[in-house]
Amino acid sequence: FLSHAHLDHVLGLTWFQPVFKLGWIDRASVCAKPDVLAAIQNHLSETAIFSGRLRFQFVPLPNELNIAEGGRLTHCELPNHPGGSTAYRIDWPGFSLAYVTDTIVDGGYMEFIRGVDMLLHECNFPDRLAEMANESHHSYASAVAQLAREANVGRLILVHLDPWLADFYEEMLESARALFPDTELGHDMQEIDFQPR
C-alpha cells in the first residue's frame, strides 16, 4: 500500500527485481490510488530510471478492504502535500493502527486517526526547523505529538525520519515526549509488537 508516488516512497520497488529473479517470491501486489499507480507504471519503468521490469500486480485502492485476522483497512486523503498523499488505518478486533506520512499536521485527519492504539506518523523535522517542515509540506516533532495527544492515540512512533537530520533525532524525541510521553523513533527493519491499551 503506497501513500503517494514521490521517489522516496516508490524507488524501493525496483529492489524487488532480484527477489523475483531468484524465485524467493513469485508475485506481489502494489495497491494505491490510480494516479499513483499510473505514475509508477509510466515513469519508474522508464529505462533512464530503471533498466528492469516491474513485475508487480498493480491494484487500484478500494474504499475499504477486509484483511487478515478480521481487520478492515480504510484510507484518508492528505491533500496538503504536493501531489497529495494517503493515510491508512487498520482496525482489527481489539487493536488499531494508523499510518500517516508526508503531510503538514493541520487537524484535517484527526477524526480519521482518533483513538488508534498505535500511530505511525511522519516526522521529518525537529521543532527548530518547523518553518522548513511547513515549506516542504512535512511534519515536525511537537506538532505530531500534539496531534497524537488530541486524537487520544495509545502509542506514537515517529517514522519517515530524514537521515540527513539524524543529529536531531534525540531532540525530536524529547520534543515529542514532552507532549506525548509514549513516543518512540521508528527505524528500518523494526518489528513492532501490537499491544492493545
**For the whole model, what pTM was predicted?**
0.90
The pLDDT value recorded for residue 196 is: 63
The pLDDT value recorded for residue 197 is: 60
The pLDDT value recorded for residue 170 is: 98
C-alpha 142/C-alpha 128 separation (Å) is: 10
The pLDDT value recorded for residue 131 is: 97
Start-to-end C-alpha separation, the chain: 26
Strand 118-122, strand 64-67: pairing: unpaired
C-alpha 127/C-alpha 31 separation (Å) is: 33
Domain ranges in the chain are: 1-61, 62-197
CATH architecture of 62-197: 4-Layer Sandwich (3.60)
The pLDDT value recorded for residue 143 is: 98
> Which positions of the chain have pLDDT values less than 70?
195-197
The pLDDT value recorded for residue 23 is: 84
